[in-house]
Each structure stands twice: as structure tokens, then as C-alpha cells.
Amino acid sequence: MVMPQFGYQFMGNIKFLYPEIILSGTLLVLILLDIIFKKRAKWLLVSVSIIGLAVSLYSVNQHAYGQTTLMFGAVVFDRTAAFFKTLFAIVGILSVVILMSSSEVDDEHIGEYLVLLFGATVGMYLLASANDLVMFFLAFETVSLPSYALSGLARNSERSREAALKYLIFGAVSSGIMLFGIVMLAGMLGSTNFEALRDAYSRSAFTPGSMLVIVGLIVAGLAFKISAVPFHMWAPDVYEGSPTPVTAFFSVAPKAAGFAAVLRLFYTIFNSDQNMSVGFINSPEWYVLWGALSVVTMTLGNLAAIPQNNIKRLLAYSSISHVGYMLIGFMVTTSEGIVSILFYLSIYAIMNIGAFYIAILFRESIGTEDINEYKGIGWRMPFLSVAFAVFLLSLVGIPPFAGFAAKLVLFASAIHRGFYLIVLIAVLNSVVSLYYYAGIIRKMFLEQPDKIAVLRKPAGGFLPYFIVLILLAPIIVIGINWNLLFKWILHIVGAM
């Protein structure tokens, strides 16, 4: 009777695993196509990838309501999981599309790039739905292992090989530290299922202080994934050494997966009631942990970005600073804080990928990533330069662009809880970021080039400009009227 009952439970809910099944099937198809056609199948591989991600995205939103537990409680599908899977799918599609404008990934390696990207995306899907410590760690590693290989995809580049090695070493150490915390948590509370852990914690006599070591170990692994200080040291080298399409993917997708993991893990286990008014996530230790991480991450990220001359290293430190801003949302332990994180993540994904995509197009045109070579490019490539300026100003949080709405919602949620000092520090950091972002804009429009270089037109004709327009549209539209996106995220969090 056990096997039929298991089969009935699994098959009855298998529709909620369709997104992961679709991605896994597409991954297998990509492997076969790459073996059969090798480098002659560039457009075929890209087309199959986009179709697979689009179908997966459709499948996610077919069952985006309610809450369903799968595989005997190891996986849960709810609106929060649907939100993150939607975000992962969109980022995946954009990462595939921008690949077509870059020459950094050879045609011979495009199949490998897409297979590894799909492998990491499957892991992120599972991480967003993980409801068990074993599933959580397996999904975490499923994201990490393809990422290590992606960073070293440019095999002929010494920088890329160095980046992959650093990423692997730091990742292995952080995973080991996190595993210590997971084992200690399961051992102290006597289960691996998140709901069972929450019930055991609510009945236990463990104080927040006694749990701080365990939480700190787990946060160390997650902080590596989102590149929070002091676990950020891999990010600048990996971002610079990896092909730019890979860097654009790293700057958004694994970070979003890390935030999904924090929400899924801590807000389930240490939330003793629906209003999050008691339990570890409302203790002084919780505020100190995330407050300290937030301040040092945003401050170091912005200060370290100032002297950078390589655009990818600058955007790497910029992305670290944005992680610091988003960590403020974890201090706001009400649903308002979760809304602010999801809202910020949605906007950050678009504006950051847009900035990296323009960096790709500039590199293809002038042949370098050196910001000093951007002098005068604003008058020679006006559309792309103006678009780049919009993305950069949005990253600062200048109205009327979407980045302003993201920071406004985030800072307002913190002010509502009385975290005035944290908000003040964040505002001052935004002023610092304006300095180095405005420096890029100044070079593009106000400085004369040392020599007039020959510009190469981006490959693909009008397609790159069309993609830039698609990325620009939400930055401008949401900046003017962000009510629709905000209400959608409120609807998602209302079901948590």
C-alpha cells in the first residue's frame, strides 16, 4: 500500500513541478542539440532556450495561487515561490537574449553556457520552493556548481580561469560553514522539515542568543551567495573575469535566489506567529545581525566602487551596495519589509541587467571595458549612452526612474519601524553612489576622447536597440506609476 499511496500523492501534485520538469527537459534537449550540431546551432540553441524558459514561466503562473506541499513536505509551491520563479525565468530569458550581442562566449561554447544556465536555474527554482533542510542544501549546491563552471567559461582567458578558481574555493568554504549550521539546527530541533522545525522551536526553551551561532553559520553561506560583506571578496574578480553575459546573470539571479532562501528558511522556522511579532526574527539579535550586515555591505560596496576603472568591477561593487540596501528589509520584520525586498528585487533585476547589457554593447563597439575609453562616446552613440545614463541614474535612485520608487518603498518601511539611523546611512550611501555613476555620465558626454577610436556597430542590426528599449520601458513606466507592480507584490505577500 505504501508505493501506490506514494505514487498517487506524487502524480496528483506533479503539475506543480511542471516548471522544473520543463527546464530539465529543455536542458537535455540542449545537450543533444549541442552534440549533434556543435557550433552550427547557435540560433537553434538560443531559440530552444527562450522557448523552454517561456513555457516554464507560463507553467509557473498557471498554478500561482494557494499553497501546495509536494514530495512529503520537502517542496512547497505558493505565491512566494511563484514570484521568485517568475523572476528567475525572466532573468534567464534576458541572459539568453543579451548573449547574442556578445562575442565573449564563442559559438563553440554557447551550448555549454546555456546548459549550465539552465542547471543553475533549476536549482534556483527548487531553492525558492524548498521546505526541508536537505532539499534546501541540495538546491543551494545545484545553483552553485553550474555557477562555478559558468565563471570559467572563457577557457583561454587567464582572468576567467582565476575567477572560476576563486569562486570555487570561496563557495566550497561557505557551503561547508552553512552545512555546519544546518546540521546543528536539525540536531537541536530534531527535524529537517521547516514546519516541524518551527513547531519544535516554538515549544523549545532556546533563547534567541543561543540560536545566534546557528543562524550566523547559515547566514554566512547565504551571504556568500548574495555577496554581502565580508563574504563578498569573490565578486569583483569573478565579475571581471567572467564573460559579461555571465556577469549580468550573476549580478541578479543568484542574489535573488539567496534572498528567496532567507525568506523561505528563516521566516518559516523562526516565525512563531503569523504576524511575526515574536520569535527569533523579532529579537535584538536579529536586528543587530542584519543591521550590521546591511551597513558594512552598502558602505564598503560604494566606497570600493569609487576608484574602479573597469566597468564590470565598478558594477560588481555597485551590486554589493544594492545588496546592503535590500538587507534593510530583513530588519523590518513585518510583511511591509518583505514587500519592500521583493519590490526592490524586481526593479533591481531590470536596471542592473540593462546596465550590463549596455556595457556589453560598448565593449563590442570600442573593444574595451575601461571606463576612461568612454570619453565622448555619448555624442557618437547617443541612444545607447542616454539609455546607459538612465540605468545608472535609476541605480542611484534619482526620480522619475524606477530605482527611486524601489528605494522610497524600502526606506519608508524602515522609517515606519523607527530605523532612522539605518535609513540615514543608506541615503548617504546613495549620495556616494551618485559620485561614481555621475563620473561615468560625465565621461560619456562632457569629456573629449584622447583619441578618436573606430566604433564597430553592435551585431544584430536593430535588435540590440530594440532590447534596450524593452529594458528601458519598465524603468520609466514604473518610475512614473509603480502602483500596479506594488499591488501585485502586496497580493503575493498577503498569502505568506
The predicted model gives 484-494 an average pLDDT of: 79
Percent of the chain with pLDDT over 70: 90
Residue 224 CA from chain centroid, whole number: 12
Looking at residue 206, the DSSP 8-state letter turns out to be -
User: Would the pLDDT of 6 be above 80?
Assistant: no
Query: Which residue type does 246 have?
Result: V
Taking the C-alpha atoms of 414, 417, 419 and 420 in order, what is their torsion angle to the nearest 10 degrees?
90
Q: Per-residue pLDDT averaged across 228-249, rounded?
A: 83
Contact indicator for 285, 206 with CB cutoff of 8 Å: no
**Cβ–Cβ < 8 Å for 255, 225:** yes
C-alpha cell at 424: 540615514
Q: Is the pLDDT of residue 25 over 60?
A: yes
* Cis? peptide before 230, omega within 30° of 0: yes
Q: What is the DSSP letter of 280?
A: G
With contact defined as beta carbons under 8 Å apart, do 78 and 138 qualify? Answer: no
What number is the average pLDDT over the span 100-119?
Answer: 81
Q: Which residue has the higher pLDDT, 140 or 61?
A: 140
Higher pLDDT, 4 or 318: 318
Confidence of residue 495 (pLDDT cuts 50, 70, 90): very low
List of residues 6+ apart from 438 with CB closer than 8 A: none
Per-residue model confidence (pLDDT) at position 1:
39
Q: Residue 103 is placed in which grid cell?
A: 562575442
Nearest-angstrom CA–CA distance, 493 and 335? 7
Instruction: For residue 16, name the pLDDT band (cuts at 50, 70, 90).
Output: confident
Cell of 326: 535590500
CA-CA-CA-CA torsion sign (175, 70, 327, 417) = negative
DSSP three-state, residue 130: strand
Closest CA to 472 of 348, 354, 315: 354
Confidence of residue 8 (pLDDT cuts 50, 70, 90): very low
Give the Cα separation of 145 and 148 in Å (integer): 5
Contact 85, 60 (CB under 8 A): yes
The grid coordinates of residue 334 equal 513585518
Judge whether 225 and 261 are in contact, CB under 8 Å.
Answer: yes
Q: DSSP states of 40-104 as a string?
A: GGHHHHHHHHHHHHHHHHHHHHHT-SS-EEEGGGTEEE-HHHHHHHHHHHHHHHHHHHHHTT-SS
Burial 332-346 (b: 16+ CB within 10 A, else e): bbbbbbbbbbbbbbb
Which residue is associated with the grid cell 521566516?
267
* Set of cell numbers at residue 20: 522544473
Phi, psi of 148 (to 5 degrees): -60, -45
Cell numbers for 322? 544594492
pLDDT at 395: 92
Burial class (CB in 10 A: 0-12, 13-18, 19+), 436: buried
Q: Please report the beta strands in 163-250, taking only residues with DSSP state E, as ranges in sequence order.
A: none
- pLDDT per residue over 440-486, tens digit each? 999 888 878 766 666 677 666 678 888 899 999 999 998 888 888 88
The CA distance from 246 to 226, in Å, is: 15
- The Cα–Cα gap between 137 and 143 comes to 10
Task: Please check whether residue 364 is in contact with residue 459, taking contact to mean a CB–CB distance below 8 angstroms.
Answer: yes
Q: What is the pTM of this model?
A: 0.90
At residue 370, the 3 state secondary structure works out as: strand
* Residue 15, CA atoms < 13 Å, CB-side half-sphere: 7
Report the pLDDT value the prediction gives residue 472, as an integer from 0 to 100: 92
Residue 7 has pLDDT above 80, yes or no: no
Q: How far apart are CA 429 and CA 442, in angstroms?
A: 20
Which residue shows C-alpha cell 569629456?
A: 447
Domain boundaries, the chain: 283-496
Residue 47: predicted pLDDT: 87
**For 441, which DSSP code?**
H
Angle between helices 110-129 and 253-269 (to 10 degrees): 20
CA 376 from chain centre, in angstroms, equals 32
